[in-house]
Amino acid sequence: MKSIAVINQKGGVGKTTTTVNLGAGLARKGYRVLLLDMDPQANLTVHVDKRPDLESSTLTNLLVEDVPLKELVQPTAVENLFVVPSDTSLAGVEQVLANRIGRETILREAIEAYPDAGVFDFVLFDCPPSLGVLSANALVAADHVVIPMQAEYLSLQGMAKLLEVIQLVQKRLNPQIKIACVLPCMLDARTNLSTEVLREIDTHFGSMLARSRIRNNVKLAEAPSFGRTIFEHAPDSNGARDYEAFATEFVTMVGAAPPRSTPAGGAAPASTPTPTATPTTNGAASTPASDEPPPAAADASA
């Protein structure tokens, strides 16, 4: 299992969009993916059609009350894609954990104690736009870091601090962590600004810069309001093409093994029953995340 922190302390650069759609792109290839919403704004939770105000068990329960991860995992409407939701109570976690010894390692220990962690090929952490305890927990638990970066000059501000924090975590808490890539997002190749900023990013990050580019696309902005990934909302859009390309590049980038299940659109194994449609919170029919979620997720999704 590979753990990925999607992080940038600047807000509005595409962290949640990247976490959800990279996860969905990997799930479409047949990988089983778990998304953890580390942001008190709960945008990822909403993006996968969950209601933060109705969730009885969220990441807060894990970090503050030591509730086992197996009780928090829920299926989504996308096959092979699962989520641990968040809500606004996560905003108070930093104060609650202020004097707790080992607060930065809580998430890593919870994943290590999760008996069915091996069911998943990838775990993706959607980090908040800050470098506090929540982001620290994600970095300590992660193998790789993906840094979404908007193609604007202000996005370069603060990158030195982020890299310093990652290096500090690598030195003191998680020697295995490494930066997988910097991913340019919201790119408009028609403007000189985007071209110049992309050149500047390339100068600073060189081989860490992903070959994939996430273009500015209105369908990506629309998808969360429908509680869908870009592949469900607009499969023929530039946004879907871009994240499909990035998912393919990412698999090679982190040296992932071939998926254990059938990619979306492929022939299903003979033993796999055909899933039935169930209503979503938007009232539309959808397919369950999987005909049989991981054993640990069964109680949480009941």
Q: Is it the case that residue 157 has pLDDT exceeding 80?
A: no
Given pLDDT bands bounded at 50, 70 and 90, which one contains residue 265?
A: low
**CA 122/CA 34 separation, integer angstroms:** 6
Q: What is the Rg, in whole angstroms, of the alpha carbon atoms belonging to the chain?
A: 18
Answer whether 178's CB lies under 8 Å from 145's CB: yes
Handedness of CA 294, 75, 126, 262 (dihedral sign): positive
pLDDT at 286: 40
Q: Which domains does the chain have, with CATH numbers?
A: 2-297 (3.40.50.300)
Q: What is the mean pLDDT of residues 143-165?
A: 87
Average model confidence (pLDDT) for the chain? 86
Q: Which SS3 state, helix, strand or coil, does residue 206 take?
A: helix
Beta-bridge partners for 146: 6, 181
pLDDT at residue 81 tops 70: yes
Residue 101 has pLDDT above 50, yes or no: yes
Name residue 104's amino acid: E
pLDDT at 200: 84
pLDDT at 264: 66
- Please state the rounded mean pLDDT for residues 79-86: 96
Residue 3 has pLDDT above 80, yes or no: yes
Average pLDDT over every residue of 29-56: 93
What confidence category does residue 98 fall into, taking pLDDT thresholds of 50, 70 and 90?
A: confident
Give the mean pLDDT of 194-199.
84
214, 242 Cβ separation under 8 angstroms: yes
Note the pLDDT of residue 38.
96
Flag whether pLDDT at 300 surpasses 50. Answer: no
Does residue 242 or residue 200 have the better pLDDT? Answer: 242
pLDDT above 50 (res 288): no
- C-alpha distance from residue 186 to each of 8, 56, 80, 214 (Å): 15, 34, 27, 6
Task: Please say if the pLDDT value at position 302 is more than 90.
Answer: no
The pTM assigned to this predicted structure is 0.84
Averaged over 24-29, what is the pLDDT? Answer: 97
Q: Calculate what percentage of the chain has a pLDDT beyond 70.
A: 87
Q: 48-52, 63-67, 109-113, 280-284: which range is least confident on average?
A: 280-284
Q: 75 CB contacts (<8 Å, ≥6 apart)?
A: 81, 82, 83, 288, 289, 290, 293, 297, 301
